[in-house]
Structures are given as C-alpha cells and as structure tokens.
Structure 1
Amino acid sequence: MTPAELSEALRAVLTAAVDDGTLPVPADALPATVTVERPRSREHGDWATNVAMQLAKKAGMAPRALAETLAARLGEVPGVAAVEVAGPGFLNITLDTAAAGGLARAVVEAGERFGRTTGLAGQRINLEFVSANPTGPLHIGGVRWAAVGDALARVLEASGADVTREYYFNDHGAQIDRFARSLLARARGLEAPEDGYGGQYIADIATQVIADATAAGEPDPTTLPDDEAQEAFRARGVDLMFAEIKQKLHDFRVDFDVYFHEDHLHETGAVERAVARLRELGHIFEADGATWLRTTEFGDDKDRVIIKSDGDAAYIAGDLAYYLDKRERGFDRAIIMLGADHHGYIGRMMAMCAAFGDTPHVHLEILIGQMVNLLRDGEPLRMSKRAGTIVTLDDLVDAVGVDAARYSLARSSADQTIDLDLDLLSRSTNENPVFYVQYAHARTANVARNAADLGVRREDGFDPALLDHPSESTLLAKIGEFPRVVAQAAELREPHRVARHLEELAGAYHKWYDQRRVTPFGDEEVSDTHRTRLWLNDATRQVLANGLGLLGVTAPERM
C-alpha cells in the first residue's frame, strides 16, 4: 500500500462516517487529500495522521473521541494491521507486512511517475532566476541560483505546475555603459575606467569584437569616434558575453524558456502603460517635478519615485512594467530569486504587487539566497584566473564537475550561507554527499546486473510478505515518503529537501544491502525471497533516479 493509497482509504473512511452521521460535518468540509506522514519513532507505526484533530472542532467532538471512532473504521480496511490513538488525537497506523511490501512493486511499475503529484495542477508559474548582468562570466552566487532555480522548477513541475523558466536580461542601464567603455579601453590599449570591469575576459571579448568587424568587412571599431566606437563595443560585446553565459548555463544543464530583455520594456512603452494603470487605480501622484508611486499605503517605508524630474524612468519603473507584463502573459504566480544584497528590496516589490490589486507573497514571491564560499585546502578560493575578481561557474565545474556542483549547491537551504569544500567534493568517499547518493544508485544497478546473471527475475515472483526484516521496513518507509517530500519541497520552495531525503534513502539502502541478499549464495536455489528483494532493490533505484533527476544530477549505472 502506497501512502497515496492509504490517504485515499482514510478519505473513504471519512466520507462513510459523514454519510452515516457518525462524523457530523458537511461533505465539503473534508480535506481533498488526507495527509499521512512517517512518525518519528517506528514504535508508533508505519504512518500517522492528525486528520481527527483537524476535523474535531467542525464536528463539535473531542479530537481523541473522533480519533477513536475513525480508528475502529480504519482498522477494517484491508492491509491495515493496527490503528492506535495517541496523544490528543493522532492516528498511528501499522500496515500488515504484505501491504507495506507491496509498495516496492508499485514504485517499479510507476517508474518515472513515482513522486509526481497534482497538488499544483492548474497553476501557471513564472520562475525568474539567475538573471546576471551580461557584463562578465557567471559568478558563484549566480551559479547557486542556477542550481537551486532549475531544481525548484523541476520540483514544481513534478507537483503539477506549468512552469516557465525566465531569464531577465539586463541590457539597459549604467552597468552596460561601463562594460562598453571597458571593452573600448582595452581594445585601445588603455587602462580600464575606474568604475569599469577588468579580467582577461574583457580582453578576449574586445579582441573578438574587432575580429568580427574585420570578418564582416567593417572598419576597426577602435578607429571610430568615441560615441560610435562605444556603441559598437556595447552592441557586439553584450551579445558575445550573453551568448557565453547561455552556453555555460546549458552545459550546466540549465536552459530557459524565455530570455526577457530589459530594453524591451522601455522600447515598447511598457513602462508608460504600467504607470497609466497605477494612475487609474489612484496610486500615482506628482511632487517636486517627479512622478511618484504611493507605496506607503501598502507597507513600504517610503513612497517611490518612478519617473524622475528629468523625465528618465527610475529603476523601479522597470520592475512595475515587468511585473505587469508577467501577469498580462497569464501567469498566476511570479517567483523571483534574488541575491542577499536585495533583501531590502522586498518591501517595495510587495507594495508594488499590492498596488496593482494583487496579493503579496501569493501572486508575487521573492526568494533571497545567501552567499557561497569555496574552500580549497581549508582556505577560501577568492579569485578566478579568467574573471580576475570573482569566482565563476567555470572555476567550480572545473574543480568538481557538473554533478557535484549542482548537487552541493542545491542540497542546502538557499537562505543559508554555505561553504563548499572542493577537496571533499572531489573525493569518492561517503563523506562526499553526491558520491554517497550516486554510489547507492550505482550499487542498485550492479545488484540488478548480478541478479540477472544468476537468473533472478522480478517477473517470476513477488511475495511482499517476505519483506519482513527491520531494514526492509525502514527502506520501504523512506521510499514511501518520497512523494510527500517532493510535494513539500514544491510547496515551501525548498528543493534541498529532496537532496536530504535522497541521502537518508541511500543510507537506508546501504544498511539493507549489508543485511539482506538479493542473489543466491553458494548452492542456494533462486526463490521468491530473492525475487521479492530484487523488486525492493529496483524500487530504491527508481526513487534515487527520480530524485537525482529533480536536482538535475545524473544517476550513474557504474562508479
């Protein structure tokens, strides 16, 4: 019996109790899905639910009394061995061995679908992440968002959401001008401007801009007047830098559905339309020659200038237009992932959301990520050979590979600063978390190969009652929790929960492997015991593969 099947059985018990008047609540008061979770102690059964406590007030009953009533009914469900009422009204449920073991076959037969749910079905979500300025290689902070953001997108999709991955292309503003001046200065053999960009990549791009112009039969852009030269280096230099960022992200297994250009907002009149909409809603006022948005009405610490007195749009004007554009494209939720230096930005963004008549933290969500420190030989890695001032995506991937990089960045809560030990992540030891999980998957594949060589075939027999060892009960429990973990990771926007669960699953599998044999030993004949254990082995393999897939990490067959 899977957790989903147990949840359905509980729902049926509740419905029957409503129908016969035992549970005096209207049918629409019942939860659409009854949540079941693993109790902290195995002595308390296989699964637990607090549904009696949730419904007691509506029913006008004491929670424990309602739990006793439901326990008697649930105890009659096939596959349920025992139901106990604990504490103020928890139901602790123990499945019989066959029902518990049946999960192994259900997982194998579900395959890649196991762990996928429909909790977010019907939601269109715009997930904006990375969005680094195209003025240099992707730095380690952006790399973290690439790993976490893509994993979050996969988890949301596994929960039924329709997700659009979006990159906000910052090609408008002062930083692009500084980038262009830096390229031009390097091409002319001059020092970079004081507020410009350094590093070998600036020289490489400047050289490529000149080479491209020559190949196209155009004049050397360094010989043009300053304004024309700067524009030539800006236009081509930004294209080259962004093309490199896109390729590096693709190699990191991160691709976007939409690359939205900031310039588009200003060129199409989107900013003016957003201001007009807010003016219609009564939230715009004029003062000191500027146009203001009255954000203090929605919890901001001060009102915001959106059109400055010189007629130029303030930075927040682009945010207004971009948010409205997303909503007009039909997205129910806009999730934006920002770095730690944007924490003070949340108040004004939520006020903006409310000004448009939307609900902050519902229609607009902002996730803040903390810093990443790379360590080598116990010392911080501070500088890239190519970028000169920052640690980049290439630095991390060159050191540990894509799998270890993605897994290590996604396995911790994004709101925590993390230290990544490059030496540890390069080792093939159990202390390296990605190796530990990948090795468990490779071990399940090796067990399956050995079983095939010795004539152990799943199709020849399955008796779930034979999975009666404590290590099998523990392993089945970890397998059964996977859908709930994925759903919770999606709901809380915390894909690291998947990684941590995989590590627990890998640990349970390694312990089971040490105590139970899938293949016959010596002259032992192949039996249903071996075949049934192979089902469990392969179920573990499937969940590990599914979980690693949600993190964008490969599931190797051999290591």
Structure 2
Amino acid sequence: MTPADLSLTVLHAVRRAVDDGALRVDVPPGVKVERARPGGTGEYASNIALTLARPAGRTALDVAGILRDRLKDAPGVRAVEITGPGFLNFSLRTDAAGDLVRAVRAAGAAYGHGAALAGTAVRFAEPAEPRAALVTGTVVRLLRDQGADAGSGGTERIHVVPGPYDPDVLGADAARWALLRAAPGDRPLDGPPLLVQHERNGLFRVRYAYSRVRRLLVNGAQLGVHPSYDGDASHEIEASALLDGLRDHPVVLLAAARHRAPDRVARHLESTADALLAFQHTVLPLGDEKPSAAHRSRLALAEAAGTVLAGGLSALGISAPDRI
C-alpha cells in the first residue's frame, strides 16, 4: 500500500463515518498522511482527527477512535493506534491487494454482507405504487444483507417519483434497472434504451463486463492460466481503479441500506465495470507471451471483480448472464 492508497483509505473511513451518522462534518477533499515521526508507531501517521475535531464538535481523541474502528480491518492495514492528542498511526500489511482479492474470492456472492445493522428492526408500509414497491423490496434485501431485521407491517415509507414496472415489455432485468438506477426522488430511466447493447447503456456495460470475466476464465483455462493471487504487484497501478471498486463494495452496500438508496449500488457497479473493461486486455498472455504469475494474479483480480458485479446485480434482483 502506497501513501496515496492509505490516504484514500482514510478518506473512505471518514466518508463512512459521515454516512452512518457517527460524524457530522463535511468530508474533506483529501487526507494527508506522512511518515510516522519519532515517538509515533507504525510506518505512517495522519492528523485528520485533529483537523475534524472542531467542526465535528468532538474531541480529537473521540474522532480518532471513530476512525480507528473503521480502519482497523481495512485491506492493507495491519494495525491502527492513537497517539498523543489524537494522531492516527498505521502499520501496513505487505500484500494488501492480495488480501483484498483473496477476501472477495473467499466470500463469493456474500462479499460486502455483514452485521453492521444487527439489532436494527425496520418495518415498511406496504406500497401500492409499482416503483415504490420495487424500491422498498430491494431496500429490505439490502438491509437484511447487513444484519437488520427488515420487512413489512410498519409505517416507514420510501418516497419515490412514480414509474411503471414493465417486465413484459422490457424483461425483468431492464425493467428493474430502469426503476432502481435513478435515485428514488428522480424520474426513472427510459426503458427502451436499456435494451440496446451500447456503451451508453449502463446495464449492458455491467452485464457485459461480468460476461467478459467468465470468458477470461474459460480462455485462461485453455492456456493453462488459473486464477491465483501470487503476490505479483506489477499490475496494481494500472488496476488501481478496479481495486478501489472491490475495496469500496462493502461500504456502498451498507450506505445503500442505511440511506434506502439502491441507486448507489447501481452506480458503483457501473464504475467497477468500467474499470474492469479497461483492465481486461492485460489479463491473459498475448501473442508469444508465456503465462506467468502476473497473469494468474490478474485473472484472480478479474474473477474477484466478476464476483462483485454478480453480487451487486443480485442485490438489485438482476441476473448476471455468463454470455451476452
């Protein structure tokens, strides 16, 4: 993990703390990290807790504790300690990307699910309008995936701009995407463009990216290349956007559940698919190139990205076809 990677990881932790209401501050545009000074611990340190303390109306030690809880299990971070008035000190793992890829592959479709909302009970009113019913049902699934006890029989409502659910015209997948991709308070997407296989169609890009992963795995097997993250880091700079997509997936799922916003999942899937499609050409050997550990690692990363895409689509009730 580079200092830039660590800075982004800390920034994501701040954003998560703001999203779940633990901190009430404006998320800064960036976070400064630097080599730990004498008296500190680990390799790097940040004064972000001291910076946020006054606008948050909390002590720097309180802020540091909130952020430490959200950083201690971050990929690439071995330990987080608080020193002095509220400095965060970081000890790093040596194989952060490998840990991330292996975690996704081990969890499979459950990657990003958790118990953050365990003990929370949410009961929604039964909506009659088609889009409200679809959004509510999807939010219930997202909440349950985070450990919440969610269902019907209550009074909470998700306010949406109404829209028809037309599976007979669009097919179930496009009909759901049309209503879920737009924020609940925005007008649903037009349905017919979602049936066109074009790069402007976000649903097509996501499903096509997943199908490319399946084809890469087949082609890799034919070449004797099997997914295994072997610690080769030569691709990690060019794959940084894709690794960010995998790293952010659990955060996005939790935020979508908390904020009753399935559109966050759809947008995240689009950005992850775009990163995968930009990366796919480097995965397998080209021409006379011989298979190597780098190819095995890249294929494992692509497979993990496919897992995230399929899992995210499943959370929205949309299928992930092996071939398009």
TM range (shorter): 0.7 to 0.9
Q: 2: distance between equivalents of 1:489 and 1:534?
A: 29
1:470 aligns with 2:237: yes
Whether the aligned pair in 2 keeps the contact of 1:79 and 1:98 (CA below 8 Å) is yes
1:463 alignment partner, SS class: coil
Aligned match of 2:159 in 345, 359, 368?
368
Q: C-alpha deviations, 1:172-222, integer Å up to 9, x for none?
A: xxxxxxxxxxxxxxxxxxxxxxxxxxxxxxxxxxxxxxxxxxxxxxxxxxx
Q: Residue in 2 aligned with 1:506?
A: 273
1:398 to 1:449, Cα distance in 2 relative to 1, 3 A:
same
Q: Distance in 1 between matches of 2:309 and 2:31?
A: 23
Q: Is the 8 A contact 2:217 2:226 kept in 1?
A: no
Q: For residues 102 and 398 of structure 1, do their structure 2 counterparts lie closer, same or farther at Cα, with a shift above 3 Å needed?
A: same
Distance 1:477 1:97, change over 3 A: farther
Q: For the Cα contact (< 8 Å) 1:502–1:544, is it kept in 2? A: yes
Query: What code does the residue aligned with 2:300 have?
Result: W
Instruction: Look up the SS of the partner of 2:95 in the other structure.
Output: helix
Report the equivalent of 2:185: 415
SS at match of 1:471: coil
CA distance in 2, matches of 1:446, 1:40: 38
Match of 2:202 in 1: 433
Specify which of 87, 91, 99 is matched with residue 102 of structure 1. Answer: 99
Distance 1:98 1:397, change over 3 A: same
Structure 2 Cα separation of the partners of residues 557 and 49 of structure 1: 47
Does the Cα contact within 8 Å between 1:49 and 1:92 map onto a contact in 2? no
**What SS does structure 2 have at the residue aligned with 1:477?**
helix
The match for 1:260 is none
The 3 A distance-change label for structure 1 pair 93 and 126 is same
What CA distance in whole angstroms lies between the structure 1 residues aligned with 2:62 and 2:108?
A: 42
| 2:219 paired residue number | 450
Q: 1:39 to 1:55 in 2, by over 3 A?
A: closer
Q: How does 1:167-206 map to 2 (within 5 A)?
A: none
Gaps of 5+ in 1: 11-30, 84-88, 133-141, 167-325, 327-333, 337-364, 373-391
Contact 1:444/1:537, CA 8 A, preserved across alignment: yes
Which AA in structure 2 matches 1:153? V
Change over 3 Å in CA distance of 1:119–1:79 after alignment to 2: closer
For residues 335-372 of structure 1, what are the alpha-carbon distances to aligned partners after superposition, in whole Å with 9 as ceiling and x for unaligned?
x4xxxxxxxxxxxxxxxxxxxxxxxxxxxx33211133
Which digits, 9 at most, give the CA deviation of each residue in 1:381-400, with x for residues without a partner?
xxxxxxxxxxx64xx22322
* Unmatched tracts of structure 2, length 5 or more: 11-19, 35-45, 81-85
Query: Whole-Å Cα distance in 1 between the matches of residues 160 and 62 of structure 2?
Result: 44
Q: Distance in 2 between matches of 1:478 and 1:502?
A: 8
**Pair 426,519 (structure 1): closer, same or farther in 2 beyond 3 Å:** same
* Matched residue, 1:353: none
2:121 maps to which of 124, 135, 138: 124
Which secondary structure does the structure 1 equivalent of 2:186 belong to? coil
Change in Cα spacing, 1:443 to 1:53, as seen in structure 2 (3 Å) is same
Tell whether 2:311 aligns with 1:542.
no
| Letter of the structure 1 residue corresponding to residue 139 of structure 2 | L
Query: Is residue 525 from structure 1 mapped to residue 290 from structure 2 by the alignment?
Result: yes
Q: How many residues align?
A: 280
User: In the TM superposition, what whole-angstrom CA distance separates every residue of 1:404-435 from its partner, at most 9, and x where no partner exists?
Assistant: 110120111112233x3333112011111211
1:162 aligned residue (141, 144, 149): 149
Letter in 2 for 1:524: E
Selected match of 1:112 from 109, 112, 118: 109
Task: Map residues 483-502 of structure 1 onto 2, 5 A cutoff.
Answer: 483-502=250-269
**Alpha-carbon contact 1:98-1:465 (below 8 Å) kept:** no
Deviations 1:73-115 (A, max 9, x none): x9xx99559x9xxxxx997989677313421111101112211
Against the structure 1 CA distance between its residues 471 and 118, is the aligned structure 2 distance closer, same or farther, given a 3 Å change threshold?
Answer: same
Q: Write out aligned runs for 1:322-361 (5 A).
A: 334=154, 336=155
**Per residue, is there more strand in 1 or in 2?**
1
Contact 2:232 2:297 in 1 (8 A): no
Alpha-carbon distance change, 95 to 433 in structure 1, aligned in 2, over 3 angstroms: farther
Q: Distance in 1 between matches of 2:275 and 2:208?
A: 13
Q: In structure 2, do the counterparts of structure 1 residues 443 and 44 end up closer, same or farther at CA, with 3 Å as the change threshold?
A: farther
Measure how far apart 1:453 and its partner are: 1.4
Rounded to whole Å, the distance in 2 between the matches of 1:399 and 1:465 is: 47
SS at match of 1:119: coil
Q: Which amino acid aligns with 1:448?
A: L
Q: What is the RMSD computed on CA atoms of the aligned residues?
A: 3.9
Q: Which amino acid aligns with 1:521?
A: L
Per-residue CA distance 1:465-501 (angstroms, 9 max, x = gap): 4254433111101110010111111111111111111
Q: Which amino acid aligns with 1:554?
A: S
Work out whether residues 75 and 99 of structure 2, in 8 Å CA contact, stay in contact via their aligned partners in 1.
no
Answering whether residue 305 of structure 2 is matched by residue 553 of structure 1, we say no
The offset of 1:444, in angstroms, is: 0.9
SS at match of 1:369: coil
- Give percent identity, aligned residues only: 36
- Kindly name which structure, 1 or 2, has the bigger radius of gyration based on alpha carbons: 1
> Alpha-carbon deviation of 1:462?
2.6
Structure 1 residues 77-92: aligned runs within 5 Å: 79=76
- TM-score (ref. length: structure 1): 0.44
Preserved contact between residue 211 and residue 321 of structure 2 (Cα < 8 Å): yes
In the alignment, what sits opposite 1:149? 136
Contact 2:206 2:270 in 1 (8 A): yes
